[in-house]
Each structure stands twice: as structure tokens, then as C-alpha cells.
Structure 1
Amino acid sequence: MGPSFSEQFDRFGHWRRDFAGQMAGFRGWLAAQDLLDAAVQDHLQRLENLLRDDKVCVAFVAEFSRGKSELINAVFFAHYGRRIMPATPGRTTMCPTELGYDPALPPCLRLLPVESRSQPHSLAEWRNRPAAWVQLPLDVNDPDQLAHNVAYVAQVRKVSVQEAQLLGFWSDEAGADNPVCDALGMVEIPRWRHALLNLSHPLLKQGLVIVDTPGLNAVGTEPELTVNLIAQAHAVVFLLAADAGVTKSDLAIWKEHLLPCHREGNAHLVVLNKIDTLWGSLDSGTEVQAQLNRQRAHSAQVLEIDPARIVPLSAQKGLMAKIESNASLLKNSGLPLFEDLLAQGILAHRQSILCSVVGEGVMQLQAQVLRSIHIRRRDLDEQMLELRSLRGKNSTVIESMRQRIRQEQRTFEASSTKILAVRSVHLKLMNQAFQFLGATSLRRELEQLTGALAQAGLKMGVRKVYASTFEQLRGLGAHCKATAAEIQAMLGGTFRDLNTEFGFSLQPPSDLQLHDFDRELAQIEESYLQYLGFGHSLKLANPLFGQRMVNALGMRLRAVFESAANDLDLWSKSATSQLDAQLKERKRSFARRIEAVDRINEAASGLMERIAEIESAEQQLSALEQRLAQWMQQLVQPYAVQPQELVAEGQAT
């Protein structure tokens, strides 16, 4: 039997940290060789942060009583020897629960009261208001205490129909889908709106984030949950009951809240849970398997997905088998197959992203560092030609050369005024470009949509406003690129002049690439569009719901715009760092040339000594290039192989 999801993820986490350590070692080597300019430093810092702080989010989504919490227990918490997430029959996890690790906080459960839904603030804004949360301590070494406090996520309270309506749990138009009233006319709602579980679990410490969602009602009334948390999850596990298949409410969650966010992929799995309910039937094992196959095929047809992505299992039996170390029961539960598919999907997903970003970043680093090495080599070559021309020359010729070098130096220093003027224009244009991607511009473009959603009653024209808003947002990106093209043209012309006048080897900046900006805008636009359809018109009639929706939209758009601003900043630094590097090397070159001429003038042996020094320096540069190539191979090759080997190793074990 292969390693579990926990073991495979643990290996991946170790590799990621080791790779980040290699990047830190590379940074130290560059600093020791005086090759760590601003652009290289920024590149390295981003790559190291990506690898160290990378989060992998797995969202478990289903209607009530499908066994989400039990599956989470079986996959992640079986080592405690008992359930940690509440998983008794009936409704258990009543509010969305995020499991993660923040070293700045003690182990704790933080609970946001459901009354917060009467205010328009987004969940992200509530996170920055710690006083609004109820915090319970957790003892990770005491399973009973841990489970007792985590059980708070299942708490409910009784409220009037009016309060339930205010909080979004009741609608006159929903009819039978509303909560059931008791004899006093009260309805039961969750006590908490959102829960954050901070645990120093080995996998959570390595960046795993688990999202447990509590059913259609909560998912449908929290736009931020659907289009932010679930939409950005790296893996989504959708649970069905094996004996019921795809029910009406299951299909509603799938079509309304998952399909707009996630497409076909190995990291999107459907689970037919509770297959053990069929084991005790009068049917034979063959008949039970045939029944499962029919349910699997039918579910695949209804959900319109590949049957291979539907996994029959029993989370309850899998948890029991792990606790009792019962290998036979574990195999029959189907849990190992699910864990393997989940690990493969996540590792493949993260590999594709990290490999692309890291691979591209490493190649850019190599080009930047090589450029600095080539600048040094060119200066050495010029010095060598200059010194060899002095062989056999008298002191008058040597002094004449010294004066010529001094004149070149004065001319070069006089050009600093021109370079400062270029920097001033560059800074001004960069500020303009940043403004297009700033919070003020984003807020301004969202004002019309915010106003449309704040109006009372049905919002018939909001889809048109929505489409116009995203067209304007794409326009901001286009304006930013146009300003970058202006910067590119200005720097290109300046670089050509400096190359001609001073023999520099400055390369004109490449085109600005705002990675995935338009694609991510399109994805966000599509995912939120679901809330503007006729089926959500009654929810949109509630101004609070519209406000929560636009707040959640703004939070996600802000992340996209900040990422684009980071791309712009890195592009600018890459363009100007070569100028800084060549200016720095040219100043050093003048100092070395004058020093060499003075030494030659003082002693006949000085010329040969300086030539020998330059030859030695050229050999050192060749050694630097070779070591750089070794670093590149060391950084790129393990990354391209190891994550795949982790999965292959898990399959072969």
C-alpha cells in the first residue's frame, strides 16, 4: 500500500523547504560575488516567499449529512485516535470552518457570531477585527479537549422568523426550503457565521489549508465563501451519499457554486460516501459493487464529468480502520485510493504553477547575473587592450593616457545630469502606471456597481452595470500597459544613446507582461455572474447581500491588482537595474584604470603585474560563469523531477 495523503504532502513540504533553502544559498553566493543588484534581490525574495509561504487549500463541499467532517477526520486527524471535527448523524458543522496554521497565534478556535451578517462587512474585513471573534484555546496534546472545543462549530440558536430573515436564513419566497418553525414560531440557525481553527498540525504548518463548508444554505448566502475561498482552492472535494446519488440540493450546489469556479481537473474530485450502508444489505458483494458502479455512472452523467473522478468510499470505516490499524478494512473503505488521487491532484496542480513561476524566475535571474558578468569581462578586455598598448612606451605617453582617462571620467560624470532627468521622467510615468492599478482606481470603477446593488427592490439592470465595470477594469490594465510602452520607448532611446556615447551594452526593456491579469479578471467576472441571474434576484433585493457581494468582489479584485502592480514593479527594476549595474562597473573601471596607470608610471614591473592581474580576473569570471551554470542546474533540475517522483514513489510503494 502506498503512502497516505499526509505522508505524500509531508514529503512535498520537505522538498519545498529544501528548495527555498537552496535559493537562500544562491542569494548568499551572489552577495559574496557582488552580483546581488536590486532586481536580482527582488526576484530572489519573491521566489523564496513563494516557496516558503505557499498555501495549498483543499475545500470540502457538500449538502448537510454527506460526511464531510468525517472524511476530514479520516484523512487528517486519525492519528488522534478519535474524531476531532464533529461528525455525528445530522447537521454537525453549522458554519464554514477553515483549518490552518498561523504561528503568530496560539492554538485556538476563533468564532465569528452570526449576528455579523446584519452588517455589510466582508469576512476578510472581519478577520482584521479580532475583538469581534470569540476565541477558545486548544490543547493539541489533549484530543478530548481539542474535540470538545472544536464541537462549538456545531452550535445553533433559536431566533424569530424576522431575525432569520434579516440574517439571510429565511425568505418568504423560499417556501418549504426555509428552516422549520417550532411550536413557538422560532427557527434554528447557526450560532456562528465563520470559524477559524488554528492548529500546529504537521500538515497545516507546512501550508495546508482545509475548508469545511456546511451545506447549500450557508454556501448560497455567503458570496465570499463561494467565489473567493472555494474558487481559489487548489482542490475541491464534492461529497454525495452513495445510497442517494445526486439529489436536487446536491445538483444546486454543483451547478450554482462549483461549476462557475472550477473546471475539469485532477484536483476536483467527487466522493460517493457512506458505501458501508450498502454492505449490510441482502445483496451479495458482486451486486453491491454493481450497484455502486451504476450509481457512479449515473452521478457522472448528471454532473457531466469523467467517472474516473468519482470515488466510492466510506469515511467512517476508513477512520475506524486507521485507528484500529486494520489494513483490510482500510482497503475496503476506499480511503487509500481517494488519498492517492487527492495527493496527485494537488501535487500536480502546485507543480504546474510553481514550476512555471520558479523556472521562469530562475532563467531571468541567470540572464541578469550573466549580464553583470559580461559587463565586467568587457571592462577587463578594454583595460587589457589599453595596457598592452603601453608596452615599451615612455612616461610621457603613459601620462598622456592618464589624462585621457581622466577626461573620459569627467565626460562620463557630466552625463549624470541626463541620467537623472531620465530617472525623473521614468519615476513620473511609473507613478502614473501604478495609479491605474491602485486601490483608488479600483474603488472608483466599483462605485457604479456598488450603487446599483445598493438600490432597493429587484435589480433588473445590474448585469449591464456589471459587464461595464469589468470592461473598465480591463481598461485600467490596458492603460497601465500603454504607460509601460511609453516608458519602454523612452528607456530604449536613452539606452541607445548611452551605448553609443559610452560603449555600454544596455538592452532595451522587454514588453510588460501582467501575468494572468486578463485571465483572472475573466474568471472572477464569470464566477460572480451566477449571483446576478434570476435565481438570485430575491437575494439581491436585500441591500446587505448586495453589499457583502461587492465587498467580497472588491477583496478578490484587489489581490489581482496588487499582483499586477508587483509585476509592474519587477519589470521596472529589471529594466533599470542593468543601467545601475553598468554605471557602477564603469565607475569602478575608471578607478582601476587610473590606479593601473599610476602603478605603471612608478615602476616598470607595474605593467606586467597589472596585465597578470587582469588575466587572473578574467579566469575568475570564467569560474563565476561555470559556478552560475551549476547553480542553475541545481535549482531547476531537482524541481522539474522531484514532485513527480513523489507521486510515482507513492504509487510504486
Structure 2
Amino acid sequence: MATSFNEQFGQYGAWRREFALRLKLLSAWMKEHALLDAAVQDRLRRLEDQMRSDKVSVAFVAEFSRGKSELINALFFATYGRRIMPAGAGRTTMCPTELGFDPALPASLRLLPITSRLDTRSLMDWRLAPEEWTEVALDVHDPAQLAGALTKVTEVRRVPIDEARALGFWHDDLPDDNPIADAAGQVEVPRWRHALVNIAHPLLQQGLVILDTPGLNAVGAEPELTINLIAQAHAVVFILAADAGVTRSDMAVWREHLSGEATHDNARVVVLNKIDTLWDALSTPEQIAREIDRQRAASAAILGLPAERVMAVSAQKGLLAKISADDALLQASGLPALEQLLGQGILGERQNILRATVSRGIAELRLETGRVIQMRRRELSEQKIELQGLGGKNTAVIKNMRQRIEQEKLEFDIGNAKIHAVRSVQHKLLGEVFGLLGSRALKAEMMALATALQRPGLKLGMKGIYAETFTRLRGNLDRARAHSLEIQSMLAATFRQLNAEYGFSLQAPAEPDVMRFDKELQQIEQGHLRYLGLGHALRMAQPEFADRLVRALATRLRAVYEAAFAEVELWSKTAAGQLEAQLQERRTSFGRRIEAIDRIQQAAGGLDERVAEIESQEAVLGQLETRLQLLTSYFVSTGVALQDQAAPEASP
């Protein structure tokens, strides 16, 4: 029996919580046994935070009257026993609506007025200005109140044509796309620009984010919606109507906003909705099934997708079946098959990615910690040999031994000064990497692009300007990688020298994979080029739209650069933490050796007692190593198995 998406997401959430708990227990155990240096602690904290806070976003995109909001109701909110998202004939959702959960905020519907479009601030900037939003309290335990409040996303207002033009809903050169003016010369526009719903729904609490979008006109006027929110969704569900097939406006939405940026096969799902309109009483079930299959195949061919990526459903009948517990109707609605596809595709892909990420992190942690344990074991072995050589020796020999240890410590401290000198050079190079990946460099590029876009009239040659901008951005990544390679080379040489001089077991960590972000830049550039074609030439001629476009692009690029910055930072901390851990182990070893000599000088039985202590510590180290392998095997084994199964392009 197919498992509903709600049940699959619940299982996914339970798996994430278990993984995060195991990571927390591993961190506590390592801290208890002094194996948790700053770099290892930071790595574990990042992995645990990623597991606990990971979001899975699903965007629903369609032209008006395709049953999009009804499908959201059927998939996620049937347990309320009624419609929650407004659904019905004609236009319903008039503004992009995000549903999620933030425990720091009250249950509410927040609405950004449509007049905010007159300001060039990005949606991200507006999110940081809560006082500009209209807030409506929500009661998650009262379905009627919840549904009633959410009808506000359907609200419209009538404005003069000049205002509609300024808001981006009227284009003199595209009369066929303009709304119909009434006798007073006014047209209908959405009352709200964006809506944020924050409720403690079980799915939303576990990290699901749902994006409900309006039709083509509203989507096209909000570049941040397509460049950021839809483009970065883990899955996009594109809805068609079975009684209409792929219309001209459907094709415009698909071509202009959805095609060409999917990172894996599961990222795009097409739903042929309203198949109940084909349930003709005069046709046999076989004839109806053939007609539905024909519609699926035709839609898939037009969109350039495999037929299995087009799912035939009746959202309305599926919702009714769930509410009335009618299993036969539910199966006929096609909803279970869609839920299975979404669950296995989105959640399976996300689970693979998270597991592989944790597996890589824990494998590196195991190596780093294993080296610390081996160093402790070697230090203890050398101490034991050293002490056993003192058996039967007189006081003068023991005193000379102490002086020799102190001399070694002094030489080691002098060597530390050389290490710090090398590290200062490395920090200088690292600062250059951070400069290339920092916000200042990106801001300068975006300002140059914005200046070019602010020219009046049609923006001829913009593709070339965009290409030059992205070439420079990729050049920054190239230079960051070159600096990283230089730092890596210095680290390797320094570590080899320290290993030879002090018997350390340092190993330079693998260089950060900065260039994997180059692929993301290419995807962003390709997705953004659609705004530079003839279809958007008139919009681009408007300075306000062009400015919003650059701000939206900057928001997404900032996320890429911050991720690259974080990867380099973690790499740097890993190298520094490994070196600091072994330096500290050596300092501690000197202290223990001197303490042991002092105890032997004070008591005749001190030698045998100290040797017995060392042997006991050696046994403890063996137990720690075994326990470390046991605690980390769960993460590494599951990650390795999934990496073998996962698609090669999957990345965290």
C-alpha cells in the first residue's frame, strides 16, 4: 500500500532527529574524553544543525484555475477535514504564499502590501522590516478561523491604469496581457505582494516549506520569486488542467520560469489535474484510462519530459476521499501515486544528500581523532620506555633526565615560534581568499551590473554585460582556488617538517572544493538569461524592474558565496585545529614526563607506579579507539552505501 506524503515526511523527520541525536551524543562523548578540539566541535555542530534545521521546499506553479491550491489542500491539509487554502472557480491565490514554521514567531499570516513594488527593495530586505507587513493572527486548532484568515491572499483592489503600470501589471506594448479596465478606467490588481504563513502544522514543524504561486503575470513581475524561491525549491510541481491540456499560457510559464534549471530528475513533476472532468458516464473505464494516458503522453511530449514524470490526478476528488475516508475514490483520484513519487523523489534525494554530507564529515573527523589517539599512544609508549630505562639508576641520572626533558621542551617552544611565522603567512593568503568570496567583492559586481541596467530604454547588449559579470564572478572562484592550492601546498610542507622534527602525525586536509560552486553560478546564469530575451525586453526597459532583478540576483549569489566562504573557513579551522591539538598533546606530554621524574625522585616506588599508570592509560586509549569506530560506523556505513546509489551530480 502506498504511503501518504504526510507519513513519509513524518518518517523523514524522525530519521533526521535520530541522526541529529546521534551526532549530539558523539560530540558529548568526545568532549568527555578530551577528543573535542575547536575544529572538530565546529564540524559536529554544523552537521547537527544541518540535520535539525534542514528544510524541504516544494513549489507549486500553475496558471490560474488549474486547481493548484486544491492540490495543496489534498496533499498536506486534508486532516483538517476541510479546505484550508482558498480554492474554487476562477482566480484564488493572488500573491505568492509561503507556508512554513518558525518557533520564534507567533502563528500568523503576514501580508506585504502590493505598493511595496514601488520601492526597489528586495523581498529579502522587506522580510527584515516586519513593521511594513499586515499581520493576522492564526489559530492552528480552529480550521474555520485558519481557512477564513487565509482567504486574504485572494484579495484584490482596483487602481487607475497609471498605478497599475507603475506596479508592473499594465504594459502599453503588450495589450493582450493587460487586465480589463472598467468604465472608470480602473483595473484589478492583487492587494498583496507576498504572504508568509507561520503555523505549527506537523509537516511544517518538521521542515516542510510550501510555496503557492499565482499565475504567469504575477510570477513574471517578481524576478526574486523565479530566481530565488522557485529556482531553489527541492521540487517544483507544475499543474495543468486535464480538460485543457498544455495551453499557450501554460507553455509560457514552463518555458520562461521552469525549464532548464533542474539539478536532478526529481526536481520537476508535472501534474495533469482535474481528471474527474474526463470521467464520462458514457465511456467505459478502459476508454477513460486510455484518454488520460493520451493526455499524459501529449503533455509530456510538448514539455519535453518522460511520460512517467506527468502524473494524472483529481485533487478535488482526492481531498474529498481523504476527508470521507473513501479508499476507492482516493485510488481513482491518482493522489496516492503522486504522493509516492513526491516522497520517494524529494525526500529520498534529500535523505541521500544529507547522509552523504554527514558521512564525509564523520569520516574526516574519524581520521583526525584517530591521529590524536595514535599520538597519545606513541607519547605514552615513549614515556614508558624512558621510565623503564631509569630502573636501578641513581639520583644524578634521574636529575640529568629531567634536565634533558626541560631542554627538549625549550627547543619545542622555540620551534613553536617558527610555526606561528608560517601560520601568519597562511593567514595572509587566507585573508585574500576571504576577500574574493566576501560580500564586498560581490557588492561591487552587483553595483556595476545595476549601473548598466539603469540606462533608459531598451537594454541592448545586456547578454554580453551579464556574461562579463559572471565571467568575473567565476574568475574570483578561480583565484580563490589558486590561493587555496597555495595554502594547501604550504600546509603540506609545514606538516611534513613537523612530522619529521617532532614525530607528529599531521596530514593536510583535502583542499576545499571551491570550484563546485562554479556549477551553481552556471545554473544561475542560465536561469537568469531568460530575462534578457525579447519576451522581457519591455519589462527590462523599466528601471524599477531591472533594479529588482539585480537585487534578486544578488540575494541568490550571496548565498552561493557565503557557502563557499563557509567551506574555506571550515577547511582552515580543520587544519589549524589538527595542528593545535597535536601541539597541545606534546605540551601536555612534557608536563607529564617532568611530573613522573619528580615523583620518582620523591618516592622509591614511584617508577613502578608510573609505569603501571601508563599501561593503564594505553588500555584506555585502545578502548577509546574501539568506541570511536563504533560510534561513527553508523554514519559512515550508511553514507557510503548511499553514495554508491546516489546520482553522481548530487551535492549538499
After TM superposition, the score normalised by the length of structure 1 is 0.96
Letter in 2 for 1:29: W
Give runs of aligned pairs for residues 238-387 of structure 1, distance below 5 A. 238-262=238-262, 265-387=265-387
User: Matched residues in 2 for 1:462 and 1:634: separation?
Assistant: 52
Q: Deviations over 1:452-496 (max 9, x none)?
A: 111110111111110011111111112222222332233333333
The gaps in structure 2 that reach 5 residues or longer are 646-652
Instruction: String of CA shifts for 1:237-282, please: whole Å, max 9, x gaps.
Output: 1100011110001111111111132256134211110111121453
The whole-number CA distance in structure 2 between the counterparts of 1:293 and 1:497 is 69
Change (3 A) 1:464 1:53: same
Letter in 2 for 1:226: T
Please state whether the residue corresponding to 1:510 is helix, strand or coil: coil
Match of 1:71 in 2: 71
Letter in 2 for 1:484: S
1:378 positional shift: 1.4
Deviation at 1:175, TM superposition (A): 1.9
CA distance in 1, matches of 2:497, 2:359: 33
Match of residue 118 from structure 1: 118
**Residues 48 and 295 of structure 1, relative CA distance in 2, 3 Å threshold:** same
Structure 2 match to 1:620: 620
Q: Distance in 2 between matches of 1:428 and 1:637?
A: 39
Question: Given residue 180 of structure 1, which amino acid in structure 2 is its aligned partner?
Answer: I
State the Cα distance separating 1:285 from its structure 2 match. 2.1
CA drift of 1:180 comes to: 1.1
CA-to-partner distance for each residue in 1:87-143, whole Å, 9 max, x for gaps? 010000000100000111111000011111111111111101111110000011111
| CA apart distance, 1:575 | 1.1
Flag the 1:190–1:276 CA change in 2: closer, same or farther, 3 A. same
Q: Residues 232-631 of structure 1: matches in 2 within 5 Å?
A: 232-262=232-262, 265-514=265-514, 516-631=516-631
2-side partners of 1:609 and 1:27: how far apart?
Answer: 33
Which piece of structure 1 moves more, 362-371 or 442-451?
442-451
The one-letter code matched in structure 1 to 2:291 is Q
SS at match of 1:415: helix
Comparing 51-60 and 441-450, the one that deviates more:
441-450
2:492 and 2:637 mapped to 1: Cα distance? 35
Cα deviation, residue 612, structure 1: 1.4
Q: CA deviation at 1:639?
A: 6.2
Post-superposition offset of 1:515:
6.4
Whole-angstrom distance in 2 between the partners of 1:494 and 1:241? 65
Verify: 1:21 aligned to 2:21, yes or no: yes
> How far apart in 1 are the matches of 2:181 and 2:287?
42
Tell me the SS of whatever aligns to 1:136: strand
Distance, in Å, in 1 between the alignment partners of 2:317 and 2:642 is 33
2:145 and 2:403 map into 1 onto residues whose CA distance is 83
Equivalent residues of 1:437, 1:562 under 8 A apart: yes
Amino acid at match of 1:62: A
Give 1:387 shift: 1.5
Aligned counterpart, 1:651: none
Between the aligned partners of 1:428 and 1:208, the Cα distance in structure 2 is 42
Residue aligning to 1:196: 196
Query: Are the aligned partners of 1:17 and 1:52 in contact in 2 as well (CA < 8 Å)?
Result: yes
Taking the aligned partners of 1:20 and 1:28, their CA distance within structure 2 comes to 12
1:276-301 Cα distance to aligned partner (Å, 9 max, x none): 11214532322221111111111111
Is the partner of 2:265 in helix, strand or coil? Answer: coil
User: Cα deviations across residues 210-236 of structure 1 (Å, max 9, x unaligned)?
Assistant: 000111111111111112111111111
Deviation of the 1:418 alpha carbon: 2.0
Deviation at 1:172, TM superposition (A): 1.4
Q: How does 1:87-126 map to 2 (within 5 A)?
A: 87-126=87-126
Conserved in 1, the CA contact under 8 Å of 2:478 and 2:515? no
Distance 2:397 2:9 in 1: 71
Give the C-alpha shift of residue 603 in structure 1.
Answer: 2.9
| 1:4-83 superposed matches below 5 A | 4-83=4-83
Following TM superposition, by how much is the alpha carbon of 1:584 offset from its aligned partner in structure 2, in angstroms? Answer: 0.5
Secondary structure of 1:239's counterpart equals: strand
Deviates more, 1:486-495 or 1:464-473: 486-495
How big is each residue's C-alpha offset from its partner over 1:529-577, in whole Å with a ceiling of 9 and x where there is no partner? Answer: 1101111111100111110000000000001101111011111111111
Q: The residue matched to 2:266 in structure 1 has which SS?
A: coil
Q: Which residue of 2 aligns with 1:221?
A: 221
- Structure 1 CA distance for aligned equivalents of residues 307 and 331 of structure 2: 20
What SS does the aligned partner of 2:245 have?
A: coil
Contact 2:372-2:581 at 8 Å conserved across structures:
yes
> Where does structure 1 lack aligned partners over 5 or more consecutive residues?
646-653
Q: Aligned partners of 2:508 and 2:636: how far apart in 1?
A: 27
Whole-angstrom distance in 2 between the partners of 1:521 and 1:316:
40
- Say whether residues 1:140 and 2:140 are aligned partners: yes
Is residue 84 of structure 1 aligned with residue 78 of structure 2? no
Which letter does structure 2 place at the counterpart of 1:108? S
Q: Is the 8 A contact 1:448 1:465 kept in 2?
A: no
CA contact (8 A) 2:481 2:515 kept: no
The answer as to whether partners of 1:485 and 1:511 remain within 8 angstroms in 2 is yes
Matches of 1:592 and 1:449 in 2, distance apart? 62
Q: Which amino acid is the alignment partner of residue 593 of structure 1?
A: R
Aligned partners of 1:631, 1:263: CA distance in 2, in Å? 33
Q: How far apart in 2 are the matches of 1:513 and 1:267?
A: 24
Work out the CA distance in 2 between the residues paired with 1:444 and 1:295. 50
Mapped partners of 2:411, 2:292: distance in 1 = 84
How far off its partner does 1:351 sit?
A: 2.0
2: CA distance, partners of 1:187 / 1:299:
34
Report the AA paired with residue 433 of structure 1.
Answer: V
State the SS of the aligned residue for 1:564: helix
**Contact 1:234–1:349, Cα closer than 8 Å, also in 2:** no
Identity %: 56
Shift in CA distance, 614/116, structure 1 to aligned 2, threshold 3 Å: same
Deviates more, 1:504-513 or 1:229-238: 504-513
Q: Which deviates more, 30-39 or 601-610?
A: 601-610
Q: What is the letter of the counterpart of residue 132 of structure 2?
A: A
* Contact 2:459/2:537, CA 8 A, preserved across alignment: yes
Offset, 1:7: 0.8
1:170 aligns with 2:170: yes
For residues 290-340 of structure 1, the C-alpha deviation after alignment (integer angstroms, 9 at most, x for no partner) is 111111111111011110111111100111111111111111111111111
Q: Residues 587-641 of structure 1: CA distance to partner in whole angstroms, max 9, x if unpaired?
A: 1111111111122223332222221111111111111110011011133345678
SS in 2 for 1:8: helix
Q: Distance in 2 between matches of 1:642 and 1:464?
A: 42
For residues 66 and 644 of structure 2, the distance between their equivalents in structure 1, rounded to whole angstroms, comes to: 32
Contact 1:485 1:512 in 2 (8 A): no
Amino acid corresponding to residue 89 of structure 1 in structure 2: A
Asked if the contact 2:107/2:199 (under 8 Å) is kept, the reply is: yes
